[in-house]
Amino acid sequence: MAAQHSETVDLLVIGWGKAGKTLAGTAARAGRRVALVEQSADMVGGSCINIACVPTKILIHDAQGRTAEDDPEDWFAAAVARRDSLTAAMRKKNFELLDDLDSVLLVSGRARFTGEREVLVTDGPDTLTLTADAVVINTGSVPAVPPIPGARIGGRIHSSETLQHVDPLPRSLIVVGGGYVGLEFASMFAHFGAEVTVLDRGERPLADEDPDVAETVAEALRGDGAAITSGATVTEVRDGADSAEVVYEVAGVEQRAAADAVLLALGRSPATAGLGLDVAGVDTDDSGYVIVDERLRTSAAGVYAAGDVNGGPQFTYVSLDDSRILTDQLLGEGARSTADRRALQYTMFLTPPLSRAGLTEAQAREQGYDVRVGVKPVADVAAAPRAKIEGDPRGIIKVVVDGATDQVLGAALMHVHSQEVINLVALAMRHGITASQLRDEIYTHPSATEALNEVLGTLHS
């Protein structure tokens, strides 16, 4: 017999992502009664630890350790096993962190709005109606399936989630899409030993980067065994018993490529299906993302949206910052907003990783700055041997500076440990530390950071 219950709480969070779980814990420790709803036991803790940041970086790290003597399939299987072991441990820990708080109610099931700040949660025949003073939509995003004939997830055609458990390792892989996810997976599977082809519809790889940076990235990918075809418009994807085929056009000429597997890496879509947002009066944009203001408030009073689902930058650390904004909204003075974010950094975990913050050289010139540029190939940086020590001196360091103020406008760093150094550069940009101060700072040796001493000494128009 079905069980029907109801609860009233101070805060209801739908989805166990970074923003939601952080906010839930903070609110509970502040004495609030909190309910957190998650529809999948496999997603406890959110996308980052289960299908995105952590598991993919485990695979990337382990792929980089494979040598020519290591069997590709065995190496990949071992990496997947380690991935699964660590994500399971993190899932367990995330559950315990909230389950140990007496004022948190953890609910399994699918949530659907049935009114203003009222949600019905269904788990098989059982239902629970939750009413809250504040509701946070934190359901994240899912891989987009492009409107291309034959494009679907199944068989030999994969998303970034399903490809992590492909069995066996494909000896050949076609990546449809040359963006953030596509290039990370291309690099990863090339290191695992697959023959990788990237079909990118852009005129050149990484069109948003300066040409010298983009070409350095492309050279590294090609050197690792990943081919990139630019200007490729995919017109059809075909799954078959022995291989998958992709039909595409370059300069109007139809071409075909076959591989053991195809990765569709053409963006992500908001996970809002079945939420009943219209019932709650929550507006969405043309792409389905929940519309929010600078304080993450939706069009419905008392309803907020955090993380990927609100259409902002899709990074875990941005989701964490969303939780800070919401904490200030619900428990503080309400002054914090997304407008506080400047020089947001990111890293594309290639080999070596590419990290960026702020403007490119081209963007800075377009905006009329008195541009000064410090740039060097990593292999030519004499006073920073860290990359050479680790056996991979590939890459480029490029810093863009405003000659009038000596402020750093942007940086592109492709070298070992760039994911760490970019945090320092972005911090400097946010807090007005000048290029000269960064140039003359004391850094440990041998480290990746100390390259800033040398590169910032080469500033020129």
Show which residues are catalytic.
445
In the chain, the amino acid numbered 428 is: A
Please count the residues of the chain: 461
Question: Which token pair is 334?
Answer: 């309400």
CA 34 to chain centre: 28
Q: What is the rounded distance in angstroms from the CA atom of residue 168 to the CA atom of residue 145?
A: 23
The sign of the torsion formed by the CA atoms of 32, 37, 41, 44 equals negative
Q: By the 8 A CB rule, do 60 and 350 touch?
A: no
Cis before residue 446, ω within 30 degrees of 0? yes
Question: Which token pair is 101?
Answer: 């708080």
| Half-sphere exposure at residue 434, Cβ-oriented, CA atoms within 13 angstroms | 11
CA 111 to chain centre: 25
Q: What is the rounded distance in angstroms from the CA atom of residue 101 to the CA atom of residue 214?
A: 48
Cis before residue 270, ω within 30 degrees of 0? no
User: Within 10 A of 151 (CB to CB), how many other CB atoms are there?
Assistant: 19
